[in-house]
Amino acid sequence: MELLSPREAAAFALSLLDLTNLRDDCDNAAIEKLCLRAQTPNGHTAAICIWPRFVAHARSILGPEHVVRIATVVNFPFGDLPVAEVVEETRRAVADGADEIDLVIPYRKLIARDEAAVTEMVEAVRAACPQSCLKVILETGELKDAALVRRGSELAIEAGADFIKTSTGKVAVNATLEAADIMLRAIRDSRKRVGLKPAGGIGTVADADLYLRLAETVMGPNWIMPSTFRFGASGLLDDILAVLNGNTAPRASTGY
């Protein structure tokens, strides 16, 4: 990847950001603030990512234009709800105005080698939101094993995922470069147009740049765009804006 200046990397990361508030204490006021923050003088984020109960309120604020897309989470965060319940949750979210669905797979069942449960869940939710972008969360920090991360990626892609996503941000280990590398290689090998969303623990432009470089190394030049790559983060926007506005020296990578 051509070496980007910190400002260039920050501007690129801004266009790929799913600005997230999945805090337990989130309320309507926080959603209003999030929608405003997503529309910066330097450009807008790709999406906001919020709890399903706030989708209708966010849509009323952002309007019908879909410039900033609305993503919401289902089967979140533990991945242990019945398929029928998740399907209903998905349908309600779409009816309320969600553009994108971030689905947690039943990852504990995958750990127990019940691959059919993963396929059933993803296929059912895919069918429930045929026009929506479906991002499938593997919870890679809980899968731990590289072979399981690879297999989870393959199952999600085969079942109709538009993106595969590392993490919920609710466990001890979230996005890592190692997991992202495995997932990118699964995407490449599938020969399908599927995106990657690393999420959780990405807090600086320097962190983001590491993932961008990895994606270009695996997928080739010009692959990265909002339809193929997103960052899921709550704190990354602060560093992006600080770099773009020249208010502070770029912060070093926080690691992963």
Which of 18, 135, 197, 209 is catalytic? The answer is 197
DSSP the chain: -PPPPHHHHHHHHHHTEEEEE--TT--HHHHHHHHHHTEETTEE-SEEEE-GGGHHHHHHHH-TT-SSEEEEEESTTTS-S-HHHHHHHHHHHHHHT-SEEEEEP-HHHHHTT-HHHHHHHHHHHHHH-TTSEEEEE--HHHH-SHHHHHHHHHHHHHTT-SEEE---S-SSS---HHHHHHHHHHHHHHTS--EEE-BSS--SHHHHHHHHHHHHHHH-TT--STTTB-EEESSHHHHHHHHHHT-SPPPPP---
Which of 96, 102, 162, 239 is catalytic? The answer is 102
- Which pLDDT value is given to residue 256? 27
Query: For 80-103, what is each residue's pLDDT tens digit?
Result: 999 999 999 999 999 999 999 999
- Predicted model pTM: 0.95
- Which pLDDT value is given to residue 252? 58
Q: What is the mean pLDDT of residues 202-215?
A: 97
170 is catalytic: no
Which of 18, 99, 135, 165 is catalytic? The answer is 165
165 is catalytic: yes
192 is catalytic: no
> Pick the residue with more confidence: 255 or 189?
189
pLDDT, averaged across the chain? 95
Share of the chain above pLDDT 70, in %: 96
Confidence of residue 1 (pLDDT cuts 50, 70, 90): low
